[in-house]
Chains A and B, each alone.
Chain A
């Protein structure tokens, strides 16, 4: 079991020259899809309703095409389904299909009007495990959660909405499906005597077109007039990590140190070091700091009030603790000379709280800043790329779509009894509302009011969809109707699991490296 080859390092030093490896190069092209305009160009005057309309307008054609293909020759009792343009055109007893936006009315969902009525908080609302009464209730019962009867979507109402109006949906079919507010779907059925639409079948827009590998780079090269290189070097691996959770507390940084040494190729035996040398890029998907979000949670505010300290209005600068950022900065600066890093902010990181989260500012990283692009310099991928959340980029030719986990977490709250995060991610892809997306934005996931076109609609299908801050590592391959294949990765929180995901860029097969400290207990 313990062969002798692994004990190379358990011997006295000899004069053998130790090799210094070189890292595989990483080809990287960040896409500015989610960057918001800066300064005064960023407006908040517009209404969120426009986002929904834009989303509907963008996705309606796609979903209608799929629906018409599927239901063209569908017959029940001699009747074929006809397409209705508007939701309100549905007549009782007629078999038809319509397309629109789903809206779910759930009793425990944070309701803006209720909030305003009750109190003025700037704190984030208390986190809830699920919004439905029937499902697992994790949050507090301030709102008087009434016991919903049975499992499933009890207590929730599902409606279909489009430009003309809203229609309530019922039917046994609904309890089996994944439904969240904001998804664009086409439903087929008929209106019953109550005025509700009974659903027999449901269709989603499904995956959009997927670019081929290296298409982004080739396209850009063509635009710039350079010759398209046909030969590409063999790509290495991409390391993905999330949820570092650096806090000022020193007790939990050993794992970070182990990770650092592994990535630098200093720890472990030469074989592992060679393997580490093939890691061409590190992607950090959110929550690198813990408790650094600018908005205090409700618990923090309550604790501060209890302490009875002097009431500070506005920002209490004396309470700023620079240690976590400093630690993170040092950690990054140690890694950067050897490996390029892409940093996505997460829910607890010091940046905007609404999606799309803008990049963490260079001022937070005095040491690592040297590796970032100067703000007025040439555009081009920086060695250290602090990017948005969600982020779209092309690494080694593959199109990556990454999020810090907020959209999936939010979708999770909508679905009773469903614990399968992978399936939610797959669903998000099929609704074409992944990135960032949250189909639930802006309803329960705060986001920027896009004016002309919902940026959250996915235009091109990525090759890799990675979601950070998930409870455990999961992966799957999702296939689309046009032959697209998407590798879906749920990246676990490093602070809790100590796991690092390595994705081989030639085969898109992930593997895991787990760091741990032996516990005798």
Chain B
């Protein structure tokens, strides 16, 4: 054991030039604090014997200082010669309080002092004490200590490094005063977890409970898509660190901004909508602004060393963060990536649709369900819409009929353009269905075909 601490101290104090207090040593080596103090002393003495001045120390002195004039004495000098002031006469007729002058003559209150002092000033400090009850080394460092306040660094590091230890079990070995009556309740939720990795895991769990208003398939698809979206967002380093670090206030701000841009129908999740429409609107030009806004806020927030991770408590907040991640990811990805992602999806949808078309005349096409998928920050899905179809009759008359058709929509453009996907509903009549199918499908269901045409 003797060797352990010498080694450990040699590494940390001399090699790594760190500030080591007796508390850090006791936690690192799992020893009693008093033992750690002795270890520090031993190391200090040995090192300075070999080569003086290699290791500097700070000491903690406890004792009774030489009494300076007690504070209450100051009152006397102020009041000399003034007789209008009430101190000498009882303020209240029934007052029985000891007057200050009498009070001083009786026992002055015992004042103990606990003083932290650098080794250079140790003798000076000791001279100030009338009697010393205790003296020990508080910390060691390789060079002289510039700012004594930097000793707070030790305790802060302890708090961070050993946060996972349960105080009730582990602190006994450090010599902390034990209290058998401590009442502590186990929490259902953990106190704020360390950022990023844990937060991400929590997000996945938090996501499924959030969309309560939607049908079950929607939820499954949503969570599935969120999983897909996550790898995409993970590629963006900024995106990953941002959502974890941003306090909930940022989300509120961003949603405030984006709510003004939000168009489109209010669906079940209005929050999501604002997020998605935020994705849709500021694509090229205002794109810079939100990013700039984010980065400003991120800088400002990164200044706070420890941001309380309120996230686990706010389940909605988690999903918002996650959506924010997607938003960010979407903003930063190139158009090609989006194209691919966009291309992948409609193609699969198209494949489904083609099969449906083949089977359609014979079989009762199953009712396509109204689905909304979230992918890459865009809302896509199928919904049922009343459309007017104008058809030339046998007699040459133009007949306008209203019918319900299914279409897939995507909200990543300012005006949600409706992509005409051939409807497979059983409600459409055969004639109009055929006509509708031909007219409604430009370029094979690919969203990008819109742009290629024009």
Chain A residues with CB under 8 Å of chain B are 1-3, 6-7, 9-14, 18, 20-23, 25-26, 70, 151-152, 175-178, 201-204, 206, 248, 250-254, 257-258, 260-262, 264-273, 276-277, 317-318, 320-323, 325-326, 330, 334, 336-340, 366-367, 369-371, 374, 377, 382-383, 417-420, 422-423, 426-427, 430, 472-479, 481, 510-518, 520
Which residues of B are found within 8 Å of A6, using beta-carbon distances?
A: 63, 132-135
Which residues of B are found within 8 Å of A14, using beta-carbon distances?
A: 38
List 6 tightest A-B contacts by C-beta distance, closest first.
A269-B134, A337-B167, A9-B136, A518-B117, A317-B249, A265-B177
Can you sample 23 A-B contacts with CB below 8 Å?
Answer: A3-B132, A6-B132, A11-B41, A12-B39, A12-B42, A13-B35, A13-B42, A21-B178, A22-B179, A251-B149, A253-B149, A254-B116, A271-B134, A273-B34, A323-B306, A338-B179, A367-B191, A417-B85, A423-B91, A430-B95, A473-B71, A510-B109, A518-B125
A317 touches B110 (CB 8 A): no
A273 touches B85 (CB 8 A): no
Whether, in the assembled complex, B409 has its beta carbon less than 8 Å from a beta carbon of chain A, the answer is no
Considering only residues 32-78 of chain B, those with a C-beta below 8 Å from chain A are: 32-35, 37-39, 41-42, 45, 60, 62-63, 71-72, 75, 78
Whether, in the assembled complex, B363 has its beta carbon less than 8 Å from a beta carbon of chain A, the answer is no
B306 touches A317 (CB 8 A): no
Q: Answer whether A337 and B136 are a contact pair too, CB < 8 Å, given A11-B41, A514-B114, A520-B121.
A: no
Chain B: minimal CB distance from A385 (Å): 11
In the assembly, what is the distance between CA of A21 and CA of B177, in Å? Answer: 5
Which residues of A are found within 8 Å of B171, using beta-carbon distances?
A: 337-338
A23 touches B179 (CB 8 A): yes
B179 touches A258 (CB 8 A): no
Which residues of B are found within 8 Å of A478, using beta-carbon distances?
A: 96-97
A370 touches B184 (CB 8 A): yes
In the assembly, what is the distance between CA of A176 and CA of B32, in Å? Answer: 60
Chain B residues with CB under 8 Å of chain A are 1-2, 5, 22-23, 26, 32-35, 37-39, 41-42, 45, 60, 62-63, 71-72, 75, 78, 84-87, 89, 91-98, 100, 103, 109-118, 120-121, 124-126, 129-138, 148-149, 151-152, 155, 159, 167-168, 171-172, 174-187, 191-192, 247, 249-250, 252-253, 297, 300, 304-308, 310
B149 touches A252 (CB 8 A): yes
Which residues of B are found within 8 Å of A516, using beta-carbon distances?
A: 113-116
B91 touches A176 (CB 8 A): yes
Sample of 18 more A-B contacts, CB < 8 Å, known A18-B175, A426-B92: A9-B38, A13-B39, A13-B42, A21-B178, A22-B180, A204-B94, A268-B60, A269-B62, A272-B134, A318-B250, A338-B178, A366-B308, A420-B87, A423-B87, A423-B95, A473-B71, A511-B110, A516-B113
Residue of B116, B155, B187 near A260 (CB, 8 A) is: B155
Chain B: minimal CB distance from A122 (Å): 21
Residue of B1, B33, B177 near A339 (CB, 8 A) is: B177
Residue of A176, A417, A418, A479 near B96 (CB, 8 A) is: A479
Chain B: minimal CB distance from A462 (Å): 16
A10 touches B149 (CB 8 A): no
In the assembly, what is the distance between CA of A189 and CA of B100, in Å? Answer: 31
Chain B: minimal CB distance from A150 (Å): 10
Which residues of A are found within 8 Å of B130, using beta-carbon distances?
A: 1
A261 touches B23 (CB 8 A): yes
Chain B: minimal CB distance from A458 (Å): 16
B307 touches A266 (CB 8 A): no
Which residues of B are found within 8 Å of A427, using beta-carbon distances?
A: 91-92
Of A26, A260, A322, the most chain B CB neighbours within 10 A belong to A322
Q: Answer whether A177 and B92 are a contact pair too, CB < 8 Å, given A20-B178, A264-B177, A337-B179.
A: yes
B100 touches A420 (CB 8 A): yes
* Closest B residue, CB atoms, query A7: B135
In the assembly, what is the distance between CA of A371 and CA of B39, in Å? Answer: 34
B94 touches A254 (CB 8 A): no
Residue of B133, B159, B304 near A323 (CB, 8 A) is: B304
Chain B: minimal CB distance from A91 (Å): 25
B155 touches A18 (CB 8 A): no
B97 touches A422 (CB 8 A): yes
Chain A: minimal CB distance from B133 (Å): 6
Q: Answer whether A326 and B132 are a contact pair too, CB < 8 Å, given A262-B114, A267-B114.
A: no
Which residues of B are found within 8 Å of A2, using beta-carbon distances?
A: 126, 132, 135
Of B2, B26, B33, the most chain A CB neighbours within 10 A belong to B33
Which residues of B are found within 8 Å of A261, using beta-carbon distances?
A: 23
In the assembly, what is the distance between CA of A318 and CA of B299, in Å? Answer: 12
Which residues of B are found within 8 Å of A367, using beta-carbon distances?
A: 191-192
* Closest A residue, CB atoms, query B120: A520
* Closest A residue, CB atoms, query B151: A254
Residue of A22, A151, A420, A512 near B177 (CB, 8 A) is: A22
Q: Answer whether A9 and B98 are a contact pair too, CB < 8 Å, given A257-B152, A273-B177, A320-B249.
A: no
Chain B: minimal CB distance from A291 (Å): 15
A270 touches B34 (CB 8 A): yes
In the assembly, what is the distance between CA of A383 and CA of B138, in Å? Answer: 30
Q: Answer whether A475 and B109 are a contact pair too, CB < 8 Å, given A337-B167, A338-B176.
A: yes
Chain B: minimal CB distance from A9 (Å): 4
A318 touches B132 (CB 8 A): no
Chain A: minimal CB distance from B278 (Å): 18
B86 touches A418 (CB 8 A): yes
A317 touches B253 (CB 8 A): yes
In the assembly, what is the distance between CA of A339 and CA of B113, in Å? Answer: 21
Chain A: minimal CB distance from B108 (Å): 10
Chain B: minimal CB distance from A297 (Å): 23
B136 touches A178 (CB 8 A): no
A10 touches B72 (CB 8 A): no
B41 touches A268 (CB 8 A): no
In the assembly, what is the distance between CA of A97 and CA of B425, in Å? Answer: 98
* Closest A residue, CB atoms, query B125: A518
Which residues of A are found within 8 Å of B132, using beta-carbon distances?
A: 1-3, 6
In the assembly, what is the distance between CA of A72 and CA of B377, in Å? Answer: 88
B136 touches A258 (CB 8 A): no
Residue of B75, B121, B125 near A419 (CB, 8 A) is: B75
In the assembly, what is the distance between CA of A178 and CA of B260, in Å? Answer: 61
Q: Answer whether A382 and B183 are a contact pair too, CB < 8 Å, given A261-B23, A318-B253, A514-B111.
A: yes
* Closest B residue, CB atoms, query A477: B98
B179 touches A322 (CB 8 A): no
Residue of A175, A251, A325, A336 near B84 (CB, 8 A) is: A175
In the assembly, what is the distance between CA of A12 and CA of B129, in Å? Answer: 25
Chain A: minimal CB distance from B445 (Å): 44
In the assembly, what is the distance between CA of A178 and CA of B155, in Å? Answer: 48
Chain A: minimal CB distance from B279 (Å): 23
Chain A: minimal CB distance from B304 (Å): 6
* Closest A residue, CB atoms, query B154: A257
In the assembly, what is the distance between CA of A248 and CA of B186, in Å? Answer: 29
Residue of A176, A326, A474, A515 near B89 (CB, 8 A) is: A176
Q: Answer whether A264 and B176 are a contact pair too, CB < 8 Å, given A330-B159, A417-B85.
A: yes
Which residues of B are found within 8 Å of A70, using beta-carbon distances?
A: 93
In the assembly, what is the distance between CA of A9 and CA of B41, in Å? Answer: 8
In the assembly, what is the distance between CA of A178 and CA of B120, in Å? Answer: 51
Chain A: minimal CB distance from B74 (Å): 9
Chain A: minimal CB distance from B225 (Å): 30
* Closest A residue, CB atoms, query B129: A1
Of B95, B114, B250, the most chain A CB neighbours within 10 A belong to B114
B114 touches A268 (CB 8 A): yes
A383 touches B183 (CB 8 A): yes
B181 touches A10 (CB 8 A): no
Which residues of B are found within 8 Å of A13, using beta-carbon distances?
A: 1-2, 5, 35, 38-39, 42
B172 touches A20 (CB 8 A): yes
Chain B: minimal CB distance from A350 (Å): 14
Which residues of B are found within 8 Å of A518, using beta-carbon distances?
A: 115-118, 121, 124-125
Which residues of A are found within 8 Å of B41, using beta-carbon distances?
A: 9-12
Which residues of B are found within 8 Å of A366, using beta-carbon distances?
A: 191-192, 308, 310
A322 touches B308 (CB 8 A): yes
Which residues of A are found within 8 Å of B1, using beta-carbon distances?
A: 13
* Closest B residue, CB atoms, query A15: B1
